[in-house]
Amino acid sequence: MGTFIELKAADGATFPAYVAQPEGTPRGGVVVLQEIFGVNSHIRSVADGYAAAGYLAVAPATFHRVKPGVDLGYTPDDMAAGSALKAAVEALPAPGVMQDIQAAIRHAAGAGKVGIVGYCYGGLLTWRAACQLDGLSAAAPYYGGGMTAGADLTRQPKVPVMAHFADQDSYIPLDSIKAFEQAQPTVEVHLYSGHHGFNCDQRGSYSAGPAATARERTLDFFSKHLG
């Protein structure tokens, strides 16, 4: 359904983004932020799904500054490679990849109001985008590792946020999710029975029921704030 295009960040750097077009007039734009595995077939299918729901979906390659063309699977070796790439992106001088996400938001804004959704590391970046970037109307991070602790715990969102977590996530302790709820009373937090990555149908941790419920909630949330 989609194609890759080139976007340009404020510092002049270019990077690819997968863009999926809806049929007819878009209801708005949705930026889709990848896991640590790149804009792989799963993330492209997620973008396609938001396009099928009526949104212009834009999935920027957030690892491009450290390694172009990342498209990993979900093996232990892929996990190790993705974790190393995430560390490299986190080590970039500020604003780092946030300027690429801002460029993706700008592109999505051609379709109207913009929401942002992200998974795993993309969930953390979605949370940061909600707190730091311009042009958003709503944000829906999924199991964003790191957003429930440290400096990210106390960031202040500029737009409505709906956060999705799993109660058996080995990367995001349950007590840290409770701390996040206490620190962020304006954020709508949903906790699902499952593990990290429950939304991804290519991972062993996939859980169809919670994934469907979270998607329905996110679509309702976007319909409310992007309509």
Q: What is the set of active-site residues?
A: 120, 169, 196
Q: How far is CA 185 from CA 80, 96, 129, in A?
A: 35, 29, 18
Q: In degrees, to the nearest 5, what angle opens at C-alpha 197 toward C-alphas 191 and 202?
A: 140
Q: Residue 199 phi/psi, 5° resolution?
A: -80, -15
Closest CA to 86 of 99, 70, 108: 70
d(CA 24, CA 119): 27
Residue 96 CB partners (closer than 8 Å, separation 6+): 65, 89, 90
DSSP string over 64-118: TTT-TT-B--SSHHHHHHHHHHHHHHHTSPTTTTHHHHHHHHHHHGGGSSEEEEE
List beta partners, residue 117.
Answer: 32, 140
